[in-house]
């Protein structure tokens, strides 16, 4: 078996690897490190969780061990699609460069430009960045990329999904043509293939697994679910999620729950917390400090359930995630592979469970075509009578749940007229009880009732109706000087005084 000591790495890097407790490289590391050390371009294709980060970190550190950084001109560049992945890569560099005098800077959103500018001004050997923040610094004149010797693109297919490909192409054009490029991806979409053909020069291609395959250590199941009513589907789906968690029992030590939309991430997290589950959301709209605290809590074991959007599907390196729950079937089949790749890492066993509603069955078929296997179906635990969390209170995390528990009120008609069957019936009803303004029947002029004062006042406040009011003084005679639109209660009070 090959060991790290056989790969011609820098002795100080080998010492850090040994202190970290690693002896043997993974297949992607064994295949990518030797050509990278020789200065060749590398195209690495491997499923998530196979150690791609170390496969470019270790040779980079060995190559950068000699030399010195200059102000505003980093010697190497690592591009990552998300803040979390960039921060994780930075942690790997810290681990493996502890015995080397190399500097690094992390350029991600949600952090002050001023602090990042200070690091760049001093000069850095390794610059780790997301594409957007990197271009922000470049356009502000704070950064030059003409000194980049090694450029790494990590999770290239995720870059494609997030729309970063134009930014990647621009960054490539800003770096020297003679740079060494290390390009890593879990899948090879046609657009990714085009970029590699354009910007890589005779790369060493290392493909350690069939593209977009899930680890064999992950047990996959899917529950086919249909709500009793469309307006109750969301709350019943959350109830099913809680039942699946309960059925796993103590085997579910921690889990990542993936939703397709950011709004659903918040709703599912609130619902789980309401029913006593230790859960917190993470998605792109949250403040960076909050995202960092949430991730740290999940890594340290103080948080059991992490409810996430696909922003966390890449780059979350938590070795011991027991379960992944796909609350929604992902729209892109490749995302399914990356989601479930958060469990079953480093040879451990994991379990991935997914809920599929009827309109997502097409996406489910696309996933099964991609991974070239049928995902086993699991019986709905609620339908089979298995124990499930009881909804002792209304799950009011959103308006849909509130509507499930409360009967809807009859809507009041905006019409002010209620047709009667016959004029005779109308007169009988009027004789028994006063007619409300909202329920006035259609009557003949002879049987016309007096309007409510409130309605007359409203007519006056809306303006323009003054001269078209009805003569409602009772005796048919008008009161001189008051106009024919005078409210009836005033006329009645005048009549009372005349009578007195």
Span between the terminal Cα atoms of the chain, in Å: 118
pLDDT at 401 over 60: no
Q: If you average pLDDT over residues 424-443, what whole number do you get?
A: 46
390 band by pLDDT with thresholds 50, 70 and 90: very low
pLDDT in tens, 197-225: 999 999 999 988 655 567 778 899 999 99
pLDDT at 473 over 60: no
- Chain mean pLDDT for the chain: 79
- CATH architecture observed for domain 4-207: 3-Layer(aba) Sandwich (3.40)
Residue bearing the bigger pLDDT, 276 or 384: 276
49 band by pLDDT with thresholds 50, 70 and 90: low
Q: If you average pLDDT over residues 419-423, what whole number do you get?
A: 46
The pTM of this model reads 0.62
Domain ranges of the chain: 4-207, 218-405, 450-499
| pLDDT at 2 (0 to 100) | 83
- Give the whole-number percent of the chain exceeding pLDDT 70: 73
* CA–CA gap between residue 126 and residue 292 (Å, rounded): 22
Residue bearing the bigger pLDDT, 447 or 365: 365
407 band by pLDDT with thresholds 50, 70 and 90: very low
pLDDT at 192 over 90: no
For the domain made up of 218-405, the CATH class stated in words is: alpha beta
**Candidate from 23-32, 328-337, 431-440 with smallest mean pLDDT:** 431-440
374 band by pLDDT with thresholds 50, 70 and 90: very high
Residues 6+ apart with CB under 8 A from 298: 254, 280, 306, 318
475 band by pLDDT with thresholds 50, 70 and 90: very low
| pLDDT at 378 (0 to 100) | 93
pLDDT at 325 over 90: yes
Residue bearing the bigger pLDDT, 296 or 496: 296
| pLDDT at 484 (0 to 100) | 59
Q: If you average pLDDT over residues 11-36, what whole number do you get?
A: 92
Residue bearing the bigger pLDDT, 204 or 386: 204
pLDDT in tens, 88-135: 899 999 999 999 989 999 999 878 888 889 889 888 999 999 999 999
Residue bearing the bigger pLDDT, 385 or 91: 91
Q: If you average pLDDT over residues 296-308, what whole number do you get?
A: 92
């Amino acid at each position: 078996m090959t060991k790290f000591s056989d790969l011609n790495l820098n002795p100080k890097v080998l010492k850090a690897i040994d202190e970290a407790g690693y002896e043997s490289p993974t297949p992607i590391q064994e295949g990518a490190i030797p050509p990278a050390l020789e200065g060749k371009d590398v195209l690495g294709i491997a499923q998530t969780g196979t150690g791609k980060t170390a496969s470019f970190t270790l040779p980079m550190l060995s190559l950068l061990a000699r030399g010195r950084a200059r102000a505003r001109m980093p010697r190497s560049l690592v591009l990552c699609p998300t803040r979390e992945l960039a921060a994780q890569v930075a942690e790997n560099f810290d681990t493996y460069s502890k015995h080397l005098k190399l500097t690094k800077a992390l350029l991600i959103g949600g952090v002050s430009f001023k602090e990042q500018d200070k690091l760049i001004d001093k000069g850095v050997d390794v610059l780790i960045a997301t594409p957007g923040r990197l271009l922000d610094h470049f356009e502000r004149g704070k950064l030059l990329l003409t000194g980049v010797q090694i450029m790494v693109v990590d999770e290239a297919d995720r870059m494609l999904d997030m729309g970063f490909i134009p930014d990647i192409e621009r960054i490539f054009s800003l770096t020297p043509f003679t740079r060494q490029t290390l390009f890593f991806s879990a899948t090879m979409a046609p657009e990714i293939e085009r970029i590699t053909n354009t910007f890589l020069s005779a790369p060493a291609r290392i493909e350690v697994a069939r593209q977009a395959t899930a680890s064999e250590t992950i047990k996959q199941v899917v529950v086919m679910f249909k709500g009793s009513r469309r307006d109750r589907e969301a709350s019943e789906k959350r109830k099913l999620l809680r039942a699946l968690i309960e059925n796993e029992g103590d085997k579910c030590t921690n889990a990542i729950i993936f939703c397709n939309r950011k709004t659903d991430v918040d709703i599912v997290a609130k619902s789980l917390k309401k029913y006593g589950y230790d859960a917190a959301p993470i998605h792109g709209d949250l403040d960076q400090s909050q995202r960092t605290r949430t991730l740290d809590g999940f890594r340290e074991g103080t948080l059991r359930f992490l409810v996430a959007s696909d922003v966390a599907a890449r780059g979350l390196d938590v070795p011991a995630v027991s379960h992944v729950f796909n609350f929604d079937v992902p729209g892109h089949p490749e995302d399914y592979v990356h989601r479930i790749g958060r469990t079953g890492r480093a040879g451990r066993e994991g379990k991935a469970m997914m809920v599929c509603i009827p309109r997502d069955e097409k996406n489910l078929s696309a996933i099964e075509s991609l991974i070239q296997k049928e995902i086993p179906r699991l019986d709905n635990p609620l339908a089979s009578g298995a124990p499930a969390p009881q909804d002792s209170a209304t799950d009011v995390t959103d308006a849909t749940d509130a509507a499930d528990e409360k009967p809807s009120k009859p809507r009041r008609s905006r019409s002010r007229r209620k047709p009667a069957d016959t004029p005779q019936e109308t007169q009988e009803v009027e004789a028994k009880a006063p007619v409300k303004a909202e329920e006035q029947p259609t009557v003949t002029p002879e049987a016309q009732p007096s309007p409510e004062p409130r309605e007359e006042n409203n007519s006056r406040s809306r303006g323009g109706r003054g001269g078209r009011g009805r003569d409602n003084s009772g005796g048919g005679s008008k009161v001189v000087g008051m106009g024919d639109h005078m409210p009836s209660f005033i006329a009645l009070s005048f009549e009372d005084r005349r009578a007195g």
